[in-house]
Amino acid sequence: MTAAEAETYLHDHIPLSKAMNVRVDRLDEVGVKLTAPLAPNINHRGTVFGGSAAAVAMLAGWALVHAHLEGNPDVRLVIRRQQMDFDAPLDGDFEAICDDPGDEGWGPFDQALKKKGKGRVQLSVRLKRGDDEEAATFEGVYVAVAG
């Protein structure tokens, strides 16, 4: 799956991603990077609304798992748990980076999905400001369910 294909999928199937003007800048063996502008995600203080930041972070992890599951259309993907920590305001365009968990994360996920029909993977996402300063972190547990 390419970054462009992932972006089209998000916009077509998760309309909030389009309204937030989320872009998939990178999707490769290293992970995924989403970007979003301040304007459609702004709050009353002139910074990114916390819900928008959380949504973009959640979408970054979701996009990575969705791409990993490519070719397995009978699997539903949901988020089971998430936690967000904010360390600095996002006062402009921002990005969400989710690193690929490698065999350490995908191995147990794939095995459980194959044997039990349900696999879980925990992913971390970093939100960065335009000056490349890390402003927030997100931890999410994503679950794929066969059937």
Per-residue pLDDT band at 131 (split at 50, 70, 90): confident
pTM of the model: 0.94
Q: Where residue 71 falls among pLDDT bands split at 50, 70, 90?
A: confident
DSSP the chain: --HHHHHHHHHHH-HHHHHTT-EEEEEETTEEEEEE-SGGGB-TTSSB-HHHHHHHHHHHHHHHHHHHTTT-TTEEEEEEEEEEEE-S---S-EEEEEE--HHHHHHHHHHHHHHHSEEEEEEEEEEEETTS-EEEEEEEEEEEEE-
If one counts every other C-beta atom within 10 angstroms of the C-beta of residue 37, the result is: 15
Report the C-alpha gap between 57 and 81 in whole angstroms.
Answer: 13
- Over its C-alpha atoms, the chain yields an Rg (Å, rounded) of 15
**Average of pLDDT values for 126-133?**
88
Task: State the amino acid at position 120 in one-letter form.
Answer: R
CATH class of 3-146: alpha beta
What residue segments make up the domains of the chain, in order of their start? 3-146
Q: How confident is the model at residue 86 (pLDDT cuts 50, 70, 90)?
A: very high
